[in-house]
Amino acid sequence: MKPRSRIFPYSLITPAMVITILIIFIPMFRTLTYSLTNYILWKPAERGFAGLENYRKAFTDPIFLLSLKNTVIWIVVIITGQFLLGLGTALLLNRDFIGRGVARSLILIPWVTPSVITALMWRWMYDGNQGVINEILVRMGILDVYFPFLANSHTALWAIMFALLWQGFPFFAIMILAGLQSIPNELYEASEVDGAGRRIKFFRITLPMLKPVILTTILLRTIWVANSLDIIFIMTGGGPGYSTHTLPVYSYIRAYKGFDFGYSSAIAVLLTIFLIAFVAVYIRSILKDGES
């Protein structure tokens, strides 16, 4: 290849790179620089370099630490729940039964419903005065009186997580279903010849063959779930008190309710660092597994 023609590939990716730099890298860089300043929107005169002050403040701020704890609970519970529910659903949908095509389409409804609608819908279903969930639980005799799920700081986060579980499991289901269909039938036939039972087939063939799909899906969902803000914000606004604050919620509230862009940016940067650290460890462990 002539040296000059080596420019050609770069010229092809230039438009995409320009857009990426404009809408991703520049805002990222600005968030980083904001986080090093005491940038309060309505105090333009006092704006100045603050070094790592915002970061120092974060680790002594009880609301930040609570938000961090909630973020970890949020990710672990939702990803585990969505994965197990998605896996079960995919295994069911992979079987032959009448109406399978319809079931496969219907299962996608939660996933394609916009988050805002999901949040509003669940908020009214949970409502402690008129909500249908309370009505059902009372009629079934599980509850004596209506319970304010979203108004109680011990249950609010779990109630939202349940709604997100419902919303996100179809993504796992569809991805795993696609993975299931790519497993060659010969493997199962051969194992049957060797006398393998259903358990052995599941743990020795299905799961190992699904591993790449599962690992990729978990990675993607972790990043999305960690960043999710709309559903919490609409359902509880981060309350009652600070009980449903996660890092994105806290960052948003600091920015758009307190107009403290410096501190808010520091929270966002810390969330990014935590996520990058998780992703790095996760990908390394996948690669190690692949080698072994």
20 binds another protein (CB under 8 A): no
CB nearer another protein, residue 69 or residue 204: 69
128 binds another protein (CB under 8 A): yes
CB nearer another protein, residue 21 or residue 190: 21
Q: Which of 14, 33, 80, 216 binds another protein (CB under 8 A)?
A: 14
Q: Which of 20, 33, 80, 130 binds another protein (CB under 8 A)?
A: 130
CB atoms within 10 A of CB 152: 14
199 binds another protein (CB under 8 A): no
Q: Report phi then psi at 203, rounded to 5.
A: -80, -25
User: Minimal distance in Å, beta carbon 214 to another protein?
Assistant: 37
Both tokens of 208, joined, read 């190992």
CA 269, 271, 274, 277 dihedral sign is negative
Contact 82, 221 (CB under 8 A): yes
Binders of another protein in range 249-278 (CB under 8 A): 253, 256-259
Q: Report phi then psi at 179, rounded to 5.
A: -65, -40
CB nearer another protein, residue 12 or residue 279: 12
CA 139, 143, 148, 150 dihedral sign is negative
Q: Report phi then psi at 40, rounded to 5.
A: -105, 125
CB nearer another protein, residue 7 or residue 76: 7
Binders of another protein in range 148-167 (CB under 8 A): 148, 150-153, 156
60 binds another protein (CB under 8 A): no
Both tokens of 124, joined, read 């009214």
Half-sphere CA count of 290, side-chain side, radius 13 A: 9
212 binds another protein (CB under 8 A): no
Round to whole Å and give the CA distance between 95 and 196.
Answer: 19
Place of tokens 């080698």: 291
User: Minimal distance in Å, beta carbon 110 to another protein?
Assistant: 23
Q: Which of 5, 105, 185, 292 binds another protein (CB under 8 A)?
A: 5
Write out the residues near another protein by the rule CB under 8 A.
4-5, 7-8, 11, 14-15, 18, 41-44, 127-130, 144-148, 150-153, 156, 236-242, 253, 256-259
